Structure 1
Amino acid sequence: MASGIFGTGKPVLYKQTAGTAKNFTTDYAVDDAMIECTGHGLTAGDIITLSSTGSLPSGLQSGFYYSVSEVISSSQFTITAEGTNNATFTDNGTGTHSFTPYSSKVELPNFILSESLQEDGFFHKSVINGHKEWVSKGVHVNLEIKNYIYKEGTEASIRSKFKEIWGLRNTDLWVYKHIDGLNLFRDSSGDPVSFVIEDVQLGYLTQANFEDYMIIKLSSKDYVDFNNML
């Protein structure tokens, strides 16, 4: 497993496709972070948004993209807005609450990941003394993921993983750098930043065994705010 300040575990790419909304309840007097929904079908790292016919429990925001931080059981889970701190609430709100999952994801368990940052900005020159100051507009992130698909095992599994990754081209994606860290790339408003696959390269490690790999190159479409990831 890879590790670092952004968490541990495999990268995960999410399609921005909403699933079916499900109702949920809370009981802040028992647990001010637990959300209850029988058969929620979520896994850690899944992205959800919340809504209500009345008002959500105080502390939760409608339309914000939360990450599932822990699945306690098939009927209980917690969520996080940033990193590892669970979102908490101080009442149960009013009306009927629901969440919408974005669970269409591709996991990349056998990988090497590299990252580069590209800062956009300009120099501002003083008309009085000619002094120049760099004014930053934001930072774009470029990712390169080398996925060893031969480790998927059988030929059928390798083909399935290839098709899964290939199908993400020309699609806006959300990206977890390391899923176990629950750190989604977000902008200054806390919303997930969209990435796009710019290139997919194929190869194999040795001619003897033809161990297939794919290199997936992604770039952020908007600026990333690392303060919303730590």
Structure 2
Amino acid sequence: MTNLFSIFEPSSSIFSISTNWLATFLGLLFLPFMYWTSPSRWSLLWGKVIQKLHNEFKALLDVTHIGTSTLFVSIFSLILFNNFLGLLPYVFTSSSHMVMTLSLSMPLWFTLMLFGWVNHTQHMFAHLVPQGTPAMLMPFMVLIETISNIIRPGTLAVRLAANMIAGHLLLTLLGNTGPSLSLTIVYILIISQILLLILESAVAIIQSYVFAVLSTLYTSEIN
């Protein structure tokens, strides 16, 4: 391999149009089945997960934010589908690219900031200085809070992309060493790859949950 990150580069194309990003919409193929087939155990389980997330997000949000939990459950579902699809062989992992993660975090953060500063200006100014801050430290706290607020979409995007890239790189590096190893070491390698795949499945769930929860917490701060 000349470049470790070459596995994340969009390479498949038709008429100079990249087709790798079509993997983002593969999750839509799994959705229509729940509308015309009888409820299965998987659909009932997914329904319970969605209901649990709705209740949790409603607890984090204010009562006045009616229907906002649906937005964050949709974001959770989108990221979860793409994270799991990226674990399949020859499927492009779109959630490991900053183009997609920033496309999710930046518009969400910008609209929250616009809504907060227009409708709750006094509260947004008060939020820059935590309660009980000494008068001498107030200018520094305003600067620190402003910087931490500005970098929020970047931290959301980088956290998701970096965690997905790290696991995929480790799986790729270990997989490429297989042909040069003895048979006994290959057995150990296969077991370690299976354990890493289980770990990556857990990371796929955790990172989508973290993204949705942090977005919910940022929303609850503007009111």
Q: What TM-score, normalized to structure 2?
A: 0.21
More strand by share: 1
Q: Quick check: which has more Rg, 1 or 2? A: 2
Where relative contact order (Cα < 8 A, 6+ residues apart) is larger, the structure is 2
Q: What TM-score, normalized to structure 1?
A: 0.21
More helix by share: 2
